[in-house]
Amino acid sequence: AFDYSRMPDGLDEAVLTPRIKAANAALRESGFDAVPCLIDTSLDRAEATVREHLQEHAFGLAMIGGAIRMAPESTLLFERLVNVLTEAAPGIRLCFNTAPENTVEALRRWIQA
């Protein structure tokens, strides 16, 4: 399980879950065909989950959430995910939000022709 005690501003699962659900709804409303990929914090299981998603769908863009990027104890997981994505999906673009509320904006930065 993820240790929310290390998140900034007292963010925890109860606070983030509805914000993430709202961000996913905003993605759909904005016309994005988003496929959420919730992962385990185990390096091997996380990698396997991402590889399975990449085999099932073609992705041109991926976002790794702040819960992984911002937690110091998740640095190795973040590194592994970046490398798996770039190896398994050559040409994929990575984007990053600063909060669930600006997820659509983060994705749009990389789909602007």
Q: Mind giving me the DSSP string for 6-69?
A: GSGGG--HHHHHHHHHHHHHHHHHTT---------SSHHHHHHHHHHHHHHS--SEEE--HHHH
Range 73-89 burial, b when 16+ CB lie within 10 A, else e: ebeebbebbeebbeeeb
Could you report the per-residue pLDDT of 61-99, keeping only the tens digit for each? 999 988 888 888 899 999 999 999 999 999 999 999 988
Tens-place pLDDT, residues 10-58: 667 788 889 889 998 999 999 998 898 888 888 999 999 999 999 999 9
Of 86, 106, 84, the closest CA to residue 95 belongs to 106
Q: For residue 65, which of 93, 39, 85, 42 has the smallest C-alpha distance?
A: 39
19 by Cβ neighbours in 10 Å (0-12 / 13-18 / 19+) ranks as middle
Write down the pTM of the prediction. 0.80
